[in-house]
Amino acid sequence: MIEVVDIHKRYRGRSVLNGASFTVEKGQITCLIGINGAGKSTILKAIMGLTPLKSGTIRIDGQPMDKNLYESIAFIPDHLTMPPGMKLSEGLRFMQDFYQSWNANRAEELMKFFSLDQTERIGNLSKGTAAKFNLVLGLAQDTEYVLMDEPFSGIDMFSRGLIAEVFSSHLIEDRGVLLTTHEIGEVEHLIDRALLMKDGSICRDFQCEQIRSEEGKSIVDVMREVYQS
Ligand SMILES: Nc1ncnc2c1ncn2[C@@H]1O[C@H](COP(=O)(O)OP(=O)(O)OP(=O)(O)O)[C@@H](O)[C@H]1O
């Protein structure tokens, strides 16, 4: 389980996270939702130890985050961070050399699934194709947890369908997934749990199926209550 407990973050004296607490469970897809600038990406970076916090605690399976845990948690940022001159094949080799958790068979499967050409250069990829390769780099790691920042951004509707397929396939399996997205409609049926952010903390935390069956509400209905009131 990823436990985020009472985290506070300030950027240049301005409070961005103000006591956010939640958990991410294995075997569930959890979606972190909030308006622009709510602090979603900051939370993902904080879990990865990429941005210092003012206070609060983050534990991965009971352990504080440190570099050894990079083998159990994959972070897929909202853009591809590899050098533009690199070929996709070189990017895959780089990942294989860098991560013990790299699963070359799964990488190959994902490259085929997304119809990616290994001989292309990263700098020549369209935005959507780059996003697919970014997903390959994250999902081909055999990790317990995957964090994804806006995996649907800039992707056409057919490719979104492909990515959504990945979410419900063996490529995700029993992992704990935490994602941020503004495209709730695309993933509503795939998400197990929703966390709604407001004023730097989590104001609603619910199992989507439960709120659907007990209150007849979709995630978007709850979002309207929270953000339009
Ligand atoms: N490095 C930084 N320096 C200063 N302020 C920052 C920095 N990174 C983020 N911020 C600010 O922190 C706030 C939260 O940013 P963050 O990117 O976490 O929001 P978000 O919820 O992911 O937004 P979006 O939905 O637009 O991607 C924003 O006001 C942003 O301007």
State pLDDT tens for residues 39-70.
999 999 999 999 999 999 999 999 988 878 88
Atom of ligand 1 nearest to the CA of 12: 4
Residue with tokens 């469970």: 25
Query: For 39-177, where are the alpha helices, taking DSSP H only?
Result: 40-47, 88-98, 104-113, 127-139, 157-167
Instruction: Calculate how far, in angstroms, residue 39's C-alpha sits from the geometric centre of ligand 1.
Output: 6
Give the per-residue pLDDT at 187. 83
Pocket of ligand 1 (CB under 6 A): 11-12, 16, 34, 36-42
Q: What is the pLDDT of residue 168?
A: 81
The alpha carbon of 11 and the centre of ligand 1 are apart by a number of angstroms equal to: 9
Cα–Cα distance, 91 to 205 (Å, whole number): 37
pLDDT confidence of residue 183: 83
pLDDT-based confidence at residue 139 (cuts at 50, 70, 90) = very high
Dihedral, CA of residue 169, residue 171, residue 177 and residue 178, to nearest 10: -90
* Complex-level ipTM: 0.97
Under DSSP, the state recorded for 42 is: H
Question: What are residue 18's DSSP bridge partners?
Answer: 8
How far is residue 17 from each of residues 14, 55, 194, 199, measured CA to CA in Å? 9, 10, 18, 8
User: Which of 11, 25, 10, 24 shows the shortest CA–CA distance to 56?
Assistant: 10
Residue-averaged pLDDT of the chain: 92
CA distances from 42 to 84, 99, 149, 174 (A): 25, 24, 10, 25
Rounded to 5 degrees, what are φ and ψ at 31? Answer: -115, 125
- At residue 58, the pLDDT reads 95
3-class DSSP state of 227: helix
Q: What is the pLDDT of residue 161?
A: 83
Count CB atoms within 10 A of the CB of residue 165. 12
- The answer, yes or no, to whether residue 207 has pLDDT greater than 80, is yes
What is the pLDDT confidence band of residue 21, given thresholds at 50, 70 and 90? very high
Contact 110, 175 (CB under 8 A): no
Residue 32 has pLDDT above 90, yes or no: yes
* Protein residue whose Cα sits closest to atom 9 of ligand 1: 42
- pLDDT attached to residue 215: 95
> Please, which residues bridge with residue 195 across strands?
32, 205
- What was the pLDDT predicted at 119? 96
- Average pLDDT for residues 144-154, to the nearest whole number? 90
Q: What is the pLDDT of residue 23?
A: 97
Q: Which residue owns the Cα nearest ligand 1 atom 6?
A: 11
* Domains annotated on the chain, with CATH: 24-37+66-227 (3.40.50.300)
Q: Which atom of ligand 1 is nearest to the CA of 39?
A: 18
Atom of ligand 1 nearest to the CA of 180: 22
Q: Using one digit for the tens of pLDDT, what is the confidence trace for 83-106?
A: 999 999 999 999 999 999 999 999
pLDDT at 102: 95
> What pLDDT is attached to residue 3?
97
- In this model, does residue 229 exceed pLDDT 80? no
HSE-CB of 17 using CA atoms within 13 angstroms: 27
* Distance (Å) of CA 58 to CA 3, 38, 61, 63, 97: 6, 19, 10, 8, 28
